[in-house]
Each structure stands twice: as C-alpha cells, then as structure tokens.
Amino acid sequence: MTSAIHTTDIMEGAAKLRVLVVDDEEFLRSIVRERLEIAGYSVEEASNGNEALSMLESGGPYDVLLTDIRMPVMDGIALLGELGKRFPGTAGIVMSAYSELDTAVHALKMGACDYITKPFNFDVLLITIENALRKKELERQLDDYRTNLEEKVKEQTDIINSMYVRSIDAMIKALEAKDYYTRGHSQRVTLYSMAIAKELGITGQEMEDLHRASVLHDLGKIGVREAVLNKPGKLTEEEFAEIVRHPETAVRILEPIPFFRPLLPAILHHHERFDGKGYPARLVGKTIPVASRIMAIADTFDAMTSTRAYRKALPVADAINEIRRCSGTQFDPDIVPAFLACQSKIVIPGDVSLPEGFEEAIPAEYRPQPG
Ligand SMILES: [Fe+2]
C-alpha cells in the first residue's frame, strides 16, 4: 500500500521514470519489465554489463539501473563501478541470489543504493526501487545545497575581501595625504612593476599578486611619523630606523587578513638588495622573492625621478643610467634588461603623471620605430 502511494508521489506530473533492467536471463528481464510497466515505469532491457553501458551512454539518463551480478561479458560489479564514476545520478540496485550475498555487500560498498535477493516478491522490488529513488533525490538535494552554500560563501568572501581592499585603499590615501612627496608613488610603482613583469613573461595569479603587492608596498609608512617622512634634512639614526621598519609594519597590518597573506613576502622584501646589503633580512640574489626584485627597480626608479623633501627629482635619463649602473649590485641583472626594454611599452592611464622626460629617455634601441 505504502509503495503505491510513494510511486504516485514520485511520478506525479513528471515523465515516466526510466528503469534499465540488466540480466542475462531473458525470462527474468521480461517478467520484471512487465511488473514495473504495470507500476508506471518505462523499462528497457540489457543482457550484460557491456550492453547496459552502451545504453547508458547513448540512451540515458536512466533513473534506476537494476542489475544482476553474474553475467557474461561484463558483470554487475564492474557495471556498478562505471555507473558510480560516469552516471552518478542513476540509482543502482543489485539483484542477487542468496549465495551471492557477499558480492551484494561488495556492490553496496561500490555505491549501489540497495540490493534485493532472488527470487523476489514484486512488492518488495517496488519498495526497493522507491527507496533507492528517494535516496538519490536526497543526494541530489544535498549536492544542490552544498553548491548553493559554496556560492553563498564565495559571495560573502568576495564582499569581505572588497571591504578589506577598500579599507586598505583608504589607508594608502591617508598615507599619501600625510606624505606629500609619495603622492602617486604606489600607482607609478605598480605601473612600472607590471610593465617589467610583462616583459619577463609573468602572467596569471603571479601577475595579480604583483599588482596588489606593488599597490601596497609602502603601506607600512603609515606607521612612520609625518615629521620624519617629510624631513628636508638628513635623517638621524633613530629616524632612519623608523623608516626601515616600514616593510615589517605593512606585514603586521596585512597579516591578519588571509586574502593578503600571499603578498606578504613580496612586500616585506621590497628593500632587499641583490648583493645582500638591503633590509630587513639582508637576503641575497634569487633568494629575494622575484616580485620584490621587480618592485625594487620600479620603486627606486620612481623615487629617483620624483621630487622629495630632501632633494629634487633626477632627470629620467640619469635615473635609467643609475639603474643600469647598479645592475648586479642593488638590482637583479636578469631583471634590469626587462626594465630597460619595457619603458616604451608602458601604457599610461589618464590619472597617472609620469616624470618629465620619461618618453624622451627611452633608450634609442627600444624606441618605437617610425612607420
Ligand atoms: Fe618602501
């Protein structure tokens, strides 16, 4: 009685549920087919696992696969293995003889929804099918729930991350307001870093991380006193020590936020020198993160070509010569050529002002040829 109600529930308003009966005994297949069709199912037959697999491939999807275990060509266990891997939406049910009970248990472990022992009562078969269908439906609902949950979590994470980005952006603006001379600095350093990285063939996530790290590289200067940042004269030892701490301060600010963690090594080491005389860790050569080695050139070039409290801007050509001169000591000699080659390819957004003489200073060999 219960089974009839369930069958009606499941089938109501929908196309007939499809059952594939797989057994090498034609008589058994036809009797199962007859009973299931009376119960309202659409039934098809296969005589072995291989034939069933072809039907699943070309004629699916089926809602239920009702399979014998011992069959020629491909047995029921192998068929269930393929079903689980390739057709997870189909409920597999094993029809086994008493003597094959161990194998039926094995089939359950391989993902079959249920088993029924031969010879069987057809009411029991119907109940078994309905239960298997319900189980599959619950699995599907659970999958949908998980997918929705993942989407919701991703949505929320994106919102949280964009809030972090906005608040960090506000901190950068606050820094630039307090340090008049670095206004536009992080924008230009980002522009130069991206151009160098492109020349080096860097792409994807590495490029994205370099972009973020360049924007944030001097964030730690927010912890340096305004009087020190804008001091026109020579810095005292204590004041210099305050400046030197800015990469570590940036790391302390950003560290609690998982979203920024991949950027921390690049930011922490942007003042290291290739010869090991930089700070804070005195890293040498290629042990310095590649993003830091790129930013070091971009950062120094922008510092030299910007007017600071303590000196006027250097002409761009002189700054380029200085980068070239320091290749192998302050800067990675494998990255300096990329910097020299990329200047002609820097695309300047409207809101970034480049130093005077930037375009004229492009080395002749890299200047775009007329025509
Ligand atoms: Fe810096």
Compute the distance from residue 110 Cα to the ligand 1 centre, in Å: 59
Check residue 3 and give its pLDDT.
Answer: 40
Compute the distance from residue 303 Cα to the ligand 1 centre, in Å: 10
- List, in sequence order, every residue forming a beta bridge with 327; answer none if it has no partner: 331
Compute the distance from residue 270 Cα to the ligand 1 centre, in Å: 7
> Cα separation of 292 and 194, whole Å?
12
Q: Which tokens in the block code for residue 348?
A: 């300047």
Compute the distance from residue 39 Cα to the ligand 1 centre, in Å: 77
Compute the distance from residue 247 Cα to the ligand 1 centre, in Å: 7
Compute the distance from residue 186 Cα to the ligand 1 centre, in Å: 10
Compute the distance from residue 308 Cα to the ligand 1 centre, in Å: 14
> Cα separation of 113 and 134, whole Å?
10
Please name which of 142, 139, 133, 9 lies closest in space to residue 65, comparing C-alpha atoms.
133
Compute the distance from residue 244 Cα to the ligand 1 centre, in Å: 8
Residue with tokens 């308003």: 13
Check residue 350 and give its pLDDT.
Answer: 57
Q: What is the pLDDT of residues 141-189, one digit of tens each?
A: 998 998 899 898 888 888 887 888 788 778 888 887 777 666 678 888 9
Compute the distance from residue 127 Cα to the ligand 1 centre, in Å: 72
Which runs of E-coded beta strand occur in the chain?
Answer: 18-22, 42-46, 64-68, 91-97, 114-118
Compute the distance from residue 348 Cα to the ligand 1 centre, in Å: 22
Check residue 300 and give its pLDDT.
Answer: 94
Q: How many residues does the chain have?
A: 371
Check residue 341 and give its pLDDT.
Answer: 87
Check residue 365 and give its pLDDT.
Answer: 55
Check residue 71 and give its pLDDT.
Answer: 85
Number of H helices, E strands in the chain: 15, 5
Compute the distance from residue 167 Cα to the ligand 1 centre, in Å: 20
Q: Which tokens in the block code for residue 285?
A: 């050569």
Compute the distance from residue 306 Cα to the ligand 1 centre, in Å: 14
Compute the distance from residue 246 Cα to the ligand 1 centre, in Å: 7
Which portions of the chain are predicted below pLDDT 70?
1-14, 98-99, 180-183, 309-310, 344-371
Compute the distance from residue 214 Cα to the ligand 1 centre, in Å: 10
Provide the percentage of residues in the chain whose pLDDT is more than 70: 87
Could you tell me the domains of the chain? Answer: 2-147 (3.40.50.2300), 179-366 (1.10.3210.10)
Compute the distance from residue 230 Cα to the ligand 1 centre, in Å: 15
**For 185-214, b where at least 16 C-beta lie within 10 A, e where not — what string?**
bbbbbbbbbbbbbebbebeeeeeebbbbbb
Burial of 10 (0-12, 13-18, 19+ CB in 10 A): middle
Q: Are residues 45 and 21 in contact, defined by beta-carbon separation less than 8 angstroms?
A: yes
